[in-house]
Each structure stands twice: as structure tokens, then as C-alpha cells.
């Protein structure tokens, strides 16, 4: 009997989970990508791209494909997709696991300011410095567009759409990054403040180490809370254990 597992993906953890499940006999693994990145890293196995049409569309897909379990391994800030997964899983009675890598923790030598949103992060910047390294992705840049007295180095995977900060330079790049590379970039552009989201993981954490070494403050946007009442795994190994118990 084939068991079908839907992975809501787009993260390194989602790709690692698909790679672990794909060779298993009797398991059909389908990875779903939202399609927001122009040239995404594709996981092994079956892949579908594009949205489902909200919770109702996802529920319909789960029924049509007789899905036995769903793993939400989307980005920690993909709150809308997670909410749809919770609603669709409840409507169809499909077991759901949220796979989230742990967030970053402030350590000795760090100078972090926590913000609850991009707007709060933008409000903290005046007075901290004039040259900002903005690494929060391309979807929240409008929050910083009115800060005309500041200069921004904006890093994104795909070209961002306006509105952008008026005084800005856009760099298109994709991790993983190294501390040496981040140090060189920050020194080249005379960065005074780092702005990032609490994505967690090692792929993009080098910028925080570089800011620490340079003695720069960092503004860190808090991630949305995990959904209540839904099992949570911090690692791919934990997700595999959960799947063994809930999807055979």
C-alpha cells in the first residue's frame, strides 16, 4: 500500500526530508513550492509549483490525492501558508506536522534589537546608523521606503518590486553565506546596522556573526508564533520519526 506524504516546502529542511523519503518503498512524496522564487532549488521526487487557492483549495487537493500526512516545512515567516495547512488538515482529518528549525539566539557580544514587524524594525533605525544592510527579503521593503535619510544595501534572491528605499543598492544573491564574505561586504559598503528576520539555521546566520565581529547593532524581526495544537519538529530526524508513527 502506497502512503502519500505532502511536503509544503521551499526550505533546506523540506529538501532534506524529501531526499530521505523518496527512496523508501511504498512512499509517494510530493513537494509543493509556492512559486515565489524565480529559480528555486528543487527537491528530489515529485514537485508541484504554485498555490492551492487557500485552505479550501488545499483541502480539496488532500482529498483528491488521498494524502496520508502533511509536513509544513515552509519558511518560518510563511504564516499564511501555515494557517491554510492547519485549516485544511483539520477539515480533512489529515495528520499535520510543522517542521521549523529553531530561531537564532542572542549570544555574548551581540547587540540585537527585537522587532515585531517590518514596520517596527523600520521605526528603530533612525539614530542607530545611516548605512543599513537590509536582509529581510523583497516582500517587506515598502516598510523602509520612507526612510530617505538612510542608505540601504538590499539583498534579495530575486529583483524586488517598488516601492523601495529611495537611497538603496540592490544585490541579488542566495545563501549559504560565509562570515568572511559577509565581513567583506559590510566593510565594502561601510554598513552601520544589520536588519534581518529570525529565520534560524546556518545558511544565513553568517551575517549575524559578522555584525558581532564588527560591533554593529542588529535589528531582528521576530518570527510568527507556531500554530497552537499542532505537533512541532525542529529537525528532519524528528519529522521522520513523526511520519513513521502517523503515516506508516
Lowest mean pLDDT among 25-39, 77-91, 202-216, 221-235: 25-39
Check if 3-102+225-246 and 112-221 are the same fold: yes
Q: What is the pLDDT of residue 50?
A: 86
CA 7 → CA 17, 37, 47, 48, distances in Å?
8, 17, 9, 10
Read off the pLDDT band of 218 (50, 70, 90).
Answer: very high
What is the DSSP annotation of 38-77? SSPPPPSSEEEES--SHHHHHHHHHHHTT--EEEE---TT
Has residue 248 got a pLDDT over 80? no
Q: What is the pLDDT of residue 171?
A: 96
- Tell me the pTM: 0.90
The percentage of the chain sitting over the pLDDT mark of 90, rounded to a whole number, equals: 86
Fold annotation for 3-102+225-246: Rossmann fold (3.40.50)
Average pLDDT over residues 29-54: 85
Q: Which residues contact 6 (CB under 8 A, 6 or more apart)?
A: 30, 32, 61, 62, 65, 67, 69, 70, 71
Cα distance from N-terminal residue to C-terminal residue, the chain: 10
Class for the domain spanning 112-221? alpha beta
Dig out the grid coordinates for 30 from the structure.
Answer: 510530493
Average pLDDT over residues 47-67: 95
Interval 147-164: pLDDT, tens: 999 999 999 998 998 999
Bridge partners for 96 per DSSP: 70
Read off the pLDDT band of 22 (50, 70, 90).
Answer: very high
Q: What does the alpha-carbon distance between residue 175 and residue 168 come to, in Å, rounded to a whole number?
A: 21
Read off the pLDDT band of 38 (50, 70, 90).
Answer: low
Q: What does the alpha-carbon distance between residue 134 and residue 27 come to, in Å, rounded to a whole number?
A: 41
Cis peptide before 176 (omega within 30 of 0): yes
Has residue 40 got a pLDDT over 80? no
Q: What is the pLDDT of residue 75?
A: 92
Q: What is the pLDDT of residue 212?
A: 97
Count of CA atoms in the C-beta half-sphere (13 A) of 127? 5
Q: What is the pLDDT of residue 80?
A: 93
Ranges of each domain in the chain: 3-102+225-246, 112-221
What letter does residue 144 receive in the DSSP assignment?
Answer: G
Inter-residue contact 189 to 133 (CB < 8 Å): yes
Interval 74-97: pLDDT, tens: 999 999 999 999 999 999 999 999
The phi and psi torsions of 211 (rounded to 5 degrees) equal: -60, -40
Amino acid at each position: 500500500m502506497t502512503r502519500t506524504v505532502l511536503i509544503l516546502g521551499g526550505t533546506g529542511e523540506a529538501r532534506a526530508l524529501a531526499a530521505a523519503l523518496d527512496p523508501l518503498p511504498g512512499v509517494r512524496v510530493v513537494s509543493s513550492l509556492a512559486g515565489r522564487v524565480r529559480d528555486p532549488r528543487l527537491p528530489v521526487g515529485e514537485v508541484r509549483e504554485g498555490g492551492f487557492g487557500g485552505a479550501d483549495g488545499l483541502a480539496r487537493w488532500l482529498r483528491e490525492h488521498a494524502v496520508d500526512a502533511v509536513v509544513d516545512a515552509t519558511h518560518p515567516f510563511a504564516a499564511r501558508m501555515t494557517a491554510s495547512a492547519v485549516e485544511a488538515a483539520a477539515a480533512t482529518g489529515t495528520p499535520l506536522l510543522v517542521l521549523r528549525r529553531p530561531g537564532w539566539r542572542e549570544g555574548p557580544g551581540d547587540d540585537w534589537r527585537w522587532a515585531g514587524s517590518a514596520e517596527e524594525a523600520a521605526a528603530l533605525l533612525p539614530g542607530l546608523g545611516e548605512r543599513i544592510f537590509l536582509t529581510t527579503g523583497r516582500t517587506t521593503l515598502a516598510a523602509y521606503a520612507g526612510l530617505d535619510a538612510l542608505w540601504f544595501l538590499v539583498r534579495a534572491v530575486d529583483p524586488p518590486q517598488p516601492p523601495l528605499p529611495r537611497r538603496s543598492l540592490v544585490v541579488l544573491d542566495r545563501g549559504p553565506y560565509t562570515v568572511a564574505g559577509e565581513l567583506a561586504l559590510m566593510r565594502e559598503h561601510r554598513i552601520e546596522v544589520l536588519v534581518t528576520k529570525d529565520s534560524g539555521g546556518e545558511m544565513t546566520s553568517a551575517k549575524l556573526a559578522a555584525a558581532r565581529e564588527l560591533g554593529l547593532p542588529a535589528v531582528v524581526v521576530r518570527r510568527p508564533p507556531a500554530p497552537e495544537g499542532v505537533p512541532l519538529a525542529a529537525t528532519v530526524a524528528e519529522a521522520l520519526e513523526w511520519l513513521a508513527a502517523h503515516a506508516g
